[in-house]
Amino acid sequence: MNYTELAYGSLDDFLYGKCPKPVKCKNGMIIGGGEIYPEVNFTLPPMKATQETLHEAKSIYKEMIDGVLKKAYELHASGLVVEFETLPQYTENPEWGIEIHKILREAMWNFEAKNGLKSVIRMTPNDMREMSRPPIMRGGKYWDAMVKIFSQTAKDGADLLAIESTGGKEVNDEALMNADLRTCIFALGCLAPRDMKWLWTNLVKIADENGSIPAGDSACGFANTAMVLAEQGFIPKVFASVIRAMSVARALVAVECGARGPGKDCAYENVYLKAITGTPASLEGKTAACAHFSPIGNISAAVADLWSNESVQHVKLLSGFAPVVSTEQLIYDCRLMNIAANKGHAKTMRDWLVESDCYLDPQAYILRPDVAFEISGEVVKTQSPFLRTVNVARITLDILQRAADKKELTLPEREIKWIDNMKEQLDEIPEDEQQFIDEMKAEVDGGKYLPFEYGI
Amino acid sequence: MTDLSLLYEAILKGKSKSAVEITNLALADGAEPKMLIDEYMIKAMGEVGRRFENQEIFVPELLMAGRAMKASLNILQPIMKSSGEKTSIGKIVIGTVKGDLHDIGKNLVASMLEGCGFEVIDIGIDMDSDKFVESVREHNADVLGLSALLTTTMPYMKTVIDAFADAGLRDKVKIIVGGAPVSAGFAAEIGADGYSDTANSAVTTVKELLGIK
């Protein structure tokens, strides 16, 4: 599937809870069909994840899912997505992750049968390939472990398959700290799309063979790392904004290979992906502050189809365990948005969510629906992921400069000078991808990555 | 005579090529390597650190300054070594603990320590306690830095600290810990000597632990 135009004819239709290509799950729950649902993720409290602690871990996961389902039922949630994002040890030893998935899956089936609460599980194993340094992307024990856990959990009833894949991250990491846009473009525009094509071709096959839905990927290790570094004042926010927008070219490859959504929650690039492909998006913001801070707490909900907490540890708060607390918060967020939509005010609600954040931070500004259309429109002008990445970087810088000139965004001087710096870096990048790859192969430390793992 | 304030400026602005040129010119003029380091280079890095603390610059500018400093040090250190002079203000082994792949924070701490004149041995990610003990012993390190980003890997920091006690090395090395889920309370609980929540404060913590002003 090649995308040459946006999935929307009008900005007024670009709303939360609905999309042109909703996803129907096995139990009939439809994501993106008119209602926004909560997506809950939880993780273990501080403890080792070993064979010795597996029994204890299993009982904690059972306690967490029981608490979450009970709270969702008590609060009259009409549907719920639960994400099981494994710990690295539970992917490396796939049988451990498979056992825990079974506990969650069966608890959800039983609860649905007994109480009628529709729930869907998203299975998100780790991308273990970066455990090898340099990473081995297309084979080896880590890849085998990933295939095993994806395949078996899909067989065992996982509804949605997702991942935060890391192809190109080994090159991007250091480039982020240096605000080296040129190397980030090599990582996100040349390496990552090649890996996404290989990875998602395989994941779609696994999903199709086992009746699961190939859902989506997240550039978490790229764009969220940039966002966190910017939040700490380490790198410019305008740089993190450009990295976010650039990650859409990479994300689009998964959908071109057959991913159908809902996109992974921490992938804020889902906003652009939804505009281009019409597939549903999971997103997270203020109610994910239990996991990480962000300057996009409200605006990230503006076009979400699932509303997530990212992850929360099983620790006791005054009211109860944190996963249950998080579930309540998500449900109330969704209730308000759904009632607004039911009363015909989805667009007003969307615009309030947007306006409450968009003028305060460049990372929020670039998620505005109108800006998302502008950036997404640039993406579909070409089919080359490399050119998409470069062109998006350029237009995002123009958008930020324009916003600063119009005083819609207040950017300190130390931020403004990085807009010029990045433009200069872009001017040095050739239009021909092969020429760029040749240049970068000479520039990037060959010990960091294996070019042949990317087919270059 | 070479205007040595240009060395200070070159490092402050992260201009490695200029820093190397001025260093070579200064040496040709008979300047003492230690004087160049103490009077100009470390002072420049101090100003870079101040600007970063005051949110006037970002990490990329700080790293550029660190690289310029390192480029000059690469010329000066062999000369100092040959005359028996100390070439760094302290030696640090750093790594991410077993089961954890995250390394951006650890890399940042390593870069900032290097920029401030420490010798840093970065042993990488997913490291077990034996590797940490072996590396500290091999390099005779003053400080060990442990990093973890996951709630399920942070308990391994105690395993590492216990391994140093078992190896009879605990009193010979200061151990600092850091990473998103780690807190000062946790650091104290597992017997670490120090904790920091940012890369910049890690440098301050290490200096305090080693009594460096």
In order of A17, A185, A395, A431, the CA distances from A391 in angstroms are 30, 11, 6, 10
User: Residue B92, Cβ neighbours under 10 Å: how many?
Assistant: 27
Q: How confident is the model at residue A256 (pLDDT cuts 50, 70, 90)?
A: very high
Shared domain for B155 and B120, answered yes or no, is: yes
* Whether B66 and B150 share a structural domain: no
- Tell me if residue B159 falls in helix, strand or coil: helix
CB-CB contact of A234 with B201 (8 Å) = no
Per-residue pLDDT tens digits for A350-359: 999 999 999 9
The pLDDT, as a whole number, for residue B38 is: 87
- CA dist list (Å): A342 to A29, A31, A77, A232, A280: 18, 16, 15, 39, 19
Does residue A1 contact residue A260 with C-beta atoms inside 8 Å?
A: no
Q: For residue B66, what pLDDT is reported? A: 87
User: Do both B169 and B202 map to the same domain?
Assistant: yes
**CATH code at B183?**
3.40.50.280
Provide the ipTM.
0.88
CA distances from A121 to A72, A162, A213, A325, A413 (A): 14, 11, 11, 19, 46
> Helices B129-139 and B156-166 meet at what angle, rounded to 10?
50
DSSP bridge partners of B195: B177
Instruction: Mark whether B99 and B77 lie in a shared domain.
Output: no
Rounded CA separation A180/B178 (Å): 26
Q: Determine contact, residues A309/A290, Cβ cutoff 8 Å.
A: yes
Pairwise CA distance, residues B205 & A56, whole Å: 36
Answer yes or no: do B103 and B26 share one domain: no
Q: pLDDT of A380-398, one tens digit each?
A: 999 999 999 999 999 999 9
Q: What's the whole-number mean pLDDT along residues A7-22? A: 98
Q: Which helix (H) or strand (E) holds B145?
A: strand B143-147
Query: Does pLDDT of B213 surpass 80?
Result: no
Please list every residue in chain A whose beta carbon sits closer than 8 Å to the beta carbon of residue B198. 232
Model confidence pLDDT, tens digit, residues A138-171: 999 999 999 999 999 999 999 999 999 999 999 9
Contact indicator for A305, A79 with CB cutoff of 8 Å: no
> With an 8 Å Cβ cutoff, are B152 and A232 in contact?
no
pLDDT above 80 for B202: yes
| Residue B120 and residue B62 share a domain | no
Q: Please check whether residues B101 and B132 belong to one and the same domain.
A: yes
Q: Mean per-residue pLDDT for B167-180?
A: 95
CA distance B12 to B15: 8
Q: Which helix (H) or strand (E) holds B126?
A: strand B119-127
Mutate one of A169, A174, A177 to test the B interface: name it (highest B CB count within 10 A): A177
* Residues of B with Cβ-Cβ distance to A52 under 8 angstroms: none
Q: Over 80: is that where the pLDDT of B199 sits?
A: no
Single residue among B82, B100, B120 that ends a domain in this structure: B82
Give dist(CA B88, CA B92) in Å, integer.
10
Boundaries of domain holding B69: 5-82
Amino acid at B128: D
Label residue B200 by pLDDT band (50, 70, 90): confident
User: What CATH number has the domain bearing residue B16?
Assistant: 1.10.1240.10
Q: Check whether residue B98 and residue B193 sit in a common domain.
A: yes
Are residues B138 and B41 part of one domain?
Answer: no
φ, ψ for residue A164, nearest 5 deg: -110, 90
To the nearest 10°, report the CA torsion of A220, A226, A227, A229: 130
Q: Given an 8 Å threshold on Cβ–Cβ distance, is B108 in contact with A234?
A: yes
Residues whose CB falls within 8 Å of the CB of residue A275, separated by 6 or more in sequence, listed in order? A6, A7, A8, A14, A303, A369, A372, A373, A376
**Cα–Cα distances in angstroms (integers) from residue B91 to residues A157, A310, A453, B144, B148, in the given order:** 52, 39, 36, 9, 21
Domain boundary among B82, B109, B136: B82
Tally of structural domains, chain B: 2
Closest-CA distance, A116 to chain B, in angstroms, reads 34
**Domains of chain A in sequence order:** 11-454 (3.20.20)
Do the chains contact at A45 and B151, CB–CB below 8 Å? yes
Among B82, B114, B145, give the residue marking a domain's end.
Answer: B82
Residue A174: list chain B partners with CB under 8 A: 107
Any residues with CB less than 8 A from the CB of A159 and at least 6 apart, and which? A25, A26, A27, A120, A121, A122, A212, A213
Give tens-digit pLDDT for B13-45: 999 999 999 999 999 999 999 999 989 998 898
Question: Is residue B66 located within the same domain as residue B132?
Answer: no
Contacts of residue A44 in chain B, CB cutoff 8 Å?
Answer: 151-152
Cross-chain residue pair A235–B60, CB shorter than 8 Å: yes
State yes or no: cis peptide before A262, omega within 30 of 0. Answer: yes
* Helix, strand and coil percent figures for chain A, each rounded to 5: 55, 10, 35
- Residue B120 and residue B175 in one domain: yes
Q: How confident is the model at residue B49 (pLDDT cuts 50, 70, 90)?
A: confident
Contact B54/A at CB under 8 A:
no
pLDDT in tens, A125-141: 999 998 888 999 999 99
Same domain, B115 and B174: yes
